[in-house]
Amino acid sequence: MSAVTDVRRRGGRASMVGSGLLVVAVLVLALWVPYNVSLGTLSSLVGLFVLVILGTTWNLMAGYAGMVSIGQQAFIGIGGYGVIHLADAVGLPVLGAVVAAAVVCGAVAWATSFLVFRLAGGYFAIGTWVVAEVVKLLTTQVDALGGGSGLSLGAFQGADRVARVATVYWLGLTLAVVVVLATFALMRSRVGLGLTAIRDDPTAASGLGVPVDRSKRIVYVASSAGVGLAGALTALNTLRVTPDSIFSVGFTASMIFVVLIGGIGTIEGPIVGAVVSFVLQDRLADLGSLYLVVLGVVAIVVVLLAPRGLWGLVTRVTDVHLFPLVHTVRREASED
């Protein structure tokens, strides 16, 4: 007698190899790169970590929870202003200030979620943009935050430049790894399963007992706190924030491009997208705004020809999942 059983598995041998390569890449970035490249390169690599965080958090919202925000620059700004204010005026140690700034972002996201969650789809997008504009407007009105001219970071004053750049670099790498792993953990949890159901059909998910609003709120708060980390990192790297630079809608543009190019709805996609945009940015640095044009054109071409992004092309031919979220079910005959 033979019965048919379903064998559920995640990933596979190819995926194990892929994940192993990723770990090696992170180790190289952590242990080899800092001692073998110039300080300027190290500082610009922080930009890559920022892109990874931004792409991952934006993908968490849009790709997994179906919330397209064009106002996440609000949390870049709060993170950036927050870290400088908390480190200089309140006197927290820099690392503590980074974490506290992210917590503030989460709190603001939680409060505003009651407003923007009344909206869906494009309305939600516009609502988040409005929130970002209001936050920017309020920031310029507060004298303690430097009004329209912004703030400079004083906490690193007197510190050795090499030590400062290295600290920010390792902090950035750590935060990027933490954000990616946390997103992976969240998606493998019960909440993640619920989110996938919500993305596919909110009504049906709700009917099956998925707490739709609560799950979306968790994602919105977590994602905004992550964006706050990226904002704090940006401020530590540039040592200065102004309302126009740190609340720039350009940050949201990069998030969207990173996710579109890499592939929406996968954890690997934003990482691939971040690397591609970082390389483009690096190559086209002298050309100024041509970078955004090229990025925009690449994104549109990718959307037209490969709607699942570059990572989508990889998974179509190889079945590699660096962060296995899918269940592969295979029927096997087994002896009873």
Partner 1 sequence: MATRPPASPRDELTLPLLTASDVSPSLFLQLLVSGIVLGSTYALLGTSVSTIYSTTKVFHFAHAFVYTAAAYVALATASSLGLPLAVAIAAGLLVAVVLGVGIELVVYRPMRRSGADSLGIFLASLGLSIAGPNLIQIMFGPDGRGFPAGDPRLFTLGTATFTTWDVLTVVVSWALIGGVLAMRRSRWGLASIAVSANRELASAVGISPQRVHVYVFGVGSFLVGVAAVLFLLNQSATPNIGLQPVLLGFIATFLGGVGSQKGAPFAGLVLGMVVSLSGLWLAQTFQTAVIFGLLFVFLIVRPQGLFGKIAA
Binding site for partner 1 (CB under 8 A): 62, 66, 68, 70, 115, 118-119, 121-123, 125-127, 129-130, 133-134, 137, 140-141, 249, 253, 256-257, 260, 288-290, 292-293, 295-297, 299-300, 303-304, 307
- 3-class SS at 12? coil
Distance CA 138, CA 74 (A): 11
At its nearest, how many Å lie between partner 1 and the CB of residue 129?
A: 7
What's the gap between Cα 219 and its chain centre? 12
3-state secondary structure (DSSP) of residue 70: coil
> Closest approach of Cβ 166 to partner 1, in Å?
34
Number of Cβ within 10 Å of residue 232's Cβ equals: 31
CB of 43 to partner 1, least distance (A): 24
Decide: helix, strand or coil at residue 7: strand
Query: Which 3 state secondary structure label does DSSP give 282?
Result: helix
Contact between 278 and 322 under an 8 Å Cβ cutoff? The reply is: no
Q: How far is the CB of 114 from partner 1 (least distance, A)?
A: 10
CB of residue 91 to partner 1, shortest distance in Å: 31
Q: For residues 113 and 116, what is the distance between their CA atoms, to the nearest angstrom?
A: 5
8 dihedral zone (left: phi>0; alpha: psi -120 to 50; beta): beta
- d(CA 18, CA 211) in angstroms, rounded, equals 34
**Between residues 109 and 229, which has the closer beta carbon with respect to partner 1?**
109
Burial of 261 (0-12, 13-18, 19+ CB in 10 A): buried
Please state the closest distance from residue 90 (CB atom) to partner 1, in A: 27
